[in-house]
Structure 1
Amino acid sequence: MIYKDKDKSNTELKADCKQCFGLCCVALYFSASEGFPANKDAGKPCINLESDFTCSIHKNLRNKGLKGCTAYDCLGAGQKVAQVTYGGHNWRQSPESSKQMFEVFLIMKQLHEMLWYLTEAFILQTDNSIKNEINSLLDKTEGLTLLDVNSLLTLDIENHRSKVNVLLKNTSELVRTKAQSKKKTHSKNKNSSYHKLDYFGADLRKVDLRGADLRGACLIAANLRGVDLSGADLIAADLRDADLSGANLTNSIFLTQSQINTAKGDSNTKLPTILLIPHYWSKTNIISYSL
């Protein structure tokens, strides 16, 4: 199973735009207020999408303030749909099936997200019985990504996601409990009782967030400079413009590339090795650390 090998999963679950048909530039809804070129309806090509499916302003996206474009990551779903599901036939060649292809892409994106999270859970989990369950669900999820078009379109994605979420939550509790145990002797002067989900613009530098449950939390523009986020669950947390300068995310869990792409960081920010360093964070070298 390729996804249980961290190096291979980093390849299989990484976007390869050259093998795609610009699906994210067509299938998705764009909002100019969220850092995209302009408001765009789902199913309509971006104004900057070229005939060969490349972006005419790709090298200048950040300079033009198009943060939404630089942050997006399909986790390899684009090339899976283009090269596997549709066997290399693009939506321009088969305009009658374009709407269907875009719907399949949105489903595939969800499946690849689940593969990303399950892969990390498999690595982190120490309970063998639960690890076996994750192993089984990884096999099942990968199998779903190989289904034909009609099967994907009729897939009960929410039912499958609910099964995945149970195992992710179990793994999260395991990791966070271990991280929180270290607070007993080191967090006397820090507030470690945060449980709310809205931290918009909050200064969290004095908050002990080791082992914190930040699932789905709004951390937009939050000040996390120098904060230790070891063992913190950041699944679906909104990190847009959050300041991670000097923060330690080495052992934070369920973090994705798109989340990091939306945040701010510097040469002292520590990230898991499976994530890439945004080139616009700093011109100096930034160190990555293993999970």
Structure 2
Amino acid sequence: MFASDPSKNIAIPKLPKEIEFLSDIALNLWWTWNPRGKNLFKLINPYLWKESSHNPIKMLNALSPEDIAALAEDETFMKEYQYVHALFRDYMQDSRVYAEEEPLPVAYFCAEYGLHHSVPIYSGGLGFLAGDILKESSDMGLPLVGIGFMYAQGYVRQVIGSDGWQNGANETIDKDNAPIERVLDENGNHFTIQVPFIDPPVYTSVWKINVGRVTLYLLDTDVEQNDPWDRGISSHLYVPDMNQRLRQQIVLGIGGYRVLEELGIKYSILHLNEGHPAFALFERVRSFIEDEKMSLEEAI
């Protein structure tokens, strides 16, 4: 049902065949908790690695074609690349699961995920908890799928001004220069759904982040079908406007529930990390009622 053309859902330079799997590693946050993975990208260009704030996609896009071609000729880099690729391949192919029989995944909803500063969609402890749960689930082989928001303007980053006062600065996400991917529909377009029960209609597109063997889907209302007010629903984490905050919760809960349905992802348990996705529970109860109603009608 859904297309999988990497050239359409990521912005990353073409790599020589000798290092073609470098893009797979860069687009999976597995490297963020694997020291050898981090070191591999640092070897490419220590200066650009630092300047990119340890963002492998941004760094690779900053390299010239000549620099990229030279990597395949660098013996030291190639040895490390081959070792890290073997580690990554073995990790991703590990078929062990937490349960004796492979269960349906847990659907994990949260308003923020602290995974890495190259994807600033978190504010603090709650986000780091959610991010660590995704990482640990991947390590343990615990089937899990995450649902959250793609905050185009992230969350305020605290900086100290020249006057010594603490100020908040927006940390805008360059979606084409981050370790995230567009989810594509069967026509190769960015997968977008209409969120139920909102009038006038609100639409959200879907992105994904690979967290080891766990997938995190992120909702993004910054799409052409929405008016400016609705496009801003997913612009910031924890917006101060209470009306917009409520709309965030509806989109996250009900919209996230619908995304799982449209993607054909069946799950065993719906888990809310906190109260912001609470509308997912109402949608789950509604679906149970609808199923029971259909069963009664069929019985009659």
TM > 0.5: no
Larger radius of gyration: 2
Where relative contact order (Cα < 8 A, 6+ residues apart) is larger, the structure is: 2
